[in-house]
Amino acid sequence: MLGDFSDPAPREQDGKIPMTENALEITDLRKTYAATKRSAAKDALNGVDLVVPRGSIFGLLGPNGAGKSTLINILAGLVTKTSGNVTIWGFDQDKNPRQSRASIGIMPQEPNLDPFFTPRGSLDVQAGLYGVPKAQRRTDELLELTGLTDKAHAHARSLSGGMRRRLLLGKALVHSPQILVLDEPTAGVDIELRKMLWQNVRRLNDEGMTIILTTHYLEEAEEMCDQIAIINHGTVIANDTTANLLSKLDAKTMVITPDGDADLPALPNGISGTKRDNGTLAFTYKTSLTRADQILSVVHDAGIGIKDVRTQEPDLEDVFLDLTRD
């Protein structure tokens, strides 16, 4: 156990203990990068409103350049916002910067490790930067959690890419934050490390930690996240539970395996079809306008025997592409 994150020790804010149902609250957040000699001014965030419930696994998705990195860097205190309000675990980022920063841990996308530090040394230094007393440090627990116990005294420069990413996770957890941000945590890692990472994420979430995940692997977000927000051009364009997002696409695909070689029959309006390389016939239709038996009737009337039939529901990738398509 890395501690119970569901009921952290209360800390005072202006003499009062912050009480909120949400781990993160963002209101009208804006960031404009000033013009330079090489580029014009750029609006990276355009009035972002976002609420992340406590104890959730929350997905933050978007295409490259959508504003995700700017948002994360503002949460980390690395980028100064232009305007808006950010509250982290009940602490206003402007009024209580130290408390809000202590409430969040961030595993960055790019490794930022000193090559001459060992994993144990890196964790101890990071804990010292957060003011964690030596008696309260969980260095051994974090080394075990990340699978680095046997590499505790190896220099970071000798670690593999996957081990470095494990160490980044450990560094994000040294101060026992209530919120953990994972920025593209599985980019370029092998299947074994990916599996280990998600096991640890679920364990931490079960202990009460709120997880915010950004990833380009949409199947991971679909499997892991309770709720997902999609950001595009600096604006939140969707924010709902994963199940509700998937249900918003009024589309389904019926895949028929014909009994022998068959070409696509003539199709009525509202149904599109393709013949796949493996010989199956795929028919896509809107469930609100077309019934499945209508497609089967078209196939039957064309004299095509049916060996097998199955349907495919839309996945998160379909929803993402539909929402972010310019």
pLDDT digits (tens, 9 = 90+) for 132-185: 999 999 999 999 999 999 999 998 888 888 888 889 999 999 999 999 999 988
Residue 15 reports pLDDT greater than 50: no
Cα distance between residue 75 and residue 65, in whole Å: 17
- The DSSP symbol for 245 reads H
Cα distance between residue 207 and residue 116, in whole Å: 33
Cα distance between residue 59 and residue 61, in whole Å: 6
Q: Quick one: how far is CA 46 from the chain centroid?
A: 20
Q: Would you state the torsion angle of the CA atoms of residues 117, 121, 122, 123, taken in this order, to the nearest 10 degrees? A: 170
Domains of the chain, start order: 22-246 (3.40.50.300), 249-318 (3.30.70)
Hey, what amino acid is at 235? Answer: T
More confident residue, 227 or 160: 227
Residue 12 is predicted with a pLDDT of 46
Largest CA distance in the chain: 78
- Provide DSSP, 30-89: EEEEPP-SSS--EEEEEEEEEEEETT-EEEEE--TTSSHHHHHHHHTTSS--SEEEEEET
From residue 163, give the alpha-carbon distance in Å to each of 166, 203, 220: 5, 19, 21
Residue 13 is predicted with a pLDDT of 45
Judge whether 270 and 289 are in contact, CB under 8 Å: yes
Interior angle at CA 298, CA 293 and CA 304, nearest 5: 110
Tell me the whole-structure pTM to 2 decimals: 0.79
pLDDT digits (tens, 9 = 90+) for 35-58: 888 888 899 999 999 999 999 999
Residue 326 is predicted with a pLDDT of 59
Q: Which of 105, 102, 109 is nearest to 170 (CA)?
A: 105
Judge whether 74 and 106 are in contact, CB under 8 Å: no
Residue 3 is predicted with a pLDDT of 46
Residue 19 is predicted with a pLDDT of 54
Helices (H), 87-118: 97-102
pLDDT digits (tens, 9 = 90+) for 300-324: 999 999 999 998 877 888 788 878 8
Hey, what amino acid is at 25? Answer: E
Residue 6 is predicted with a pLDDT of 41
For the chain, where are the E strands, in sequence order?
Answer: 22-33, 42-53, 57-61, 83-88, 91-92, 104-107, 179-183, 210-214, 227-232, 235-241, 252-258, 271-275, 281-285, 306-312
